[in-house]
Structure 1
Amino acid sequence: MAQMRIGDLYGLLSRAPRRRDLEQDGIRLVYDGTAVHLSTADDPGAVIAWASTCGFVTGPWEVTAYSASLASVRAWMRMLDREDLIDLTPVWASTPVVLAFATGGQVGAWPVIACPTAPAARRPASPSTS
């Protein structure tokens, strides 16, 4: 889990490229225990932006989520107090994996394309390459 201010996460997600500017529909988020880094499925090694985390420190994780869902995630976050803390964590209790946002009793979810840090049995199926 990464814990950060809602305004910091909103700012980070605002830096994501538009879907039509991507060849692959994927926004990659990597949490290293101190910050969340943003890149794309097109170029996972190029960090576009990052935001520091605060509060709890947990193990690192990595997800690639659908950029097509980014607008609804940001719309939900605009209704929240930017200074409040939000928990951000991949949830793999079932398939498909989701990236969950939780704050003040409210929970949002972002569908995930890939989650290499999830247990093998809970990772989203990779698209066939036939």
Structure 2
Amino acid sequence: MKLTLKYFLLLFVLWNGVEAKIFGRCEFVAKLRSLGIPGNQLATWTCIANFESHFDTKAVNSQTGDYGILQISEIYWCSNSNTPGKGCHATCSQFLNDDINDDVACARHVFDETQRWSGNGFTAWTTYDRYCKGNVDSFIANC
């Protein structure tokens, strides 16, 4: 039933003409800069977006329930209904459009909460340990 609800929600969002976008790497870096992401975090956020969604704002992982360019989890951070809720007080579908301001705001909240209890906010993303831990400056090179 839950999987059917996810597909219905995704179809509803797509059917209603939500504009989605695939960001270029440097375009994503520029957007993060404009949103005030600290310079020492830019490469890691960019690496995460690359491996989580390939910079696709409409990315949905139906197995894990992660949404958007930064793959925000429906388990803790967004509501899979029409009512905003969970940790980011948001609906998961709002992370599927070309405006990533809310995605980044929620991701920063996830980062801050995870930082408080683990000491490293990036560990909230499974791709971090495998692909984005260490020197990932190549993700912001020439941007």
User: What TM-score, normalized by structure 1, do the two folds share?
Assistant: 0.27
Structure whose residues are more often helix by fraction: 2
Structure whose residues are more often strand by fraction: 1
Instruction: Please say which structure displays the higher CA radius of gyration.
Output: 2
User: What TM-score, normalized by structure 2, do the two folds share?
Assistant: 0.25
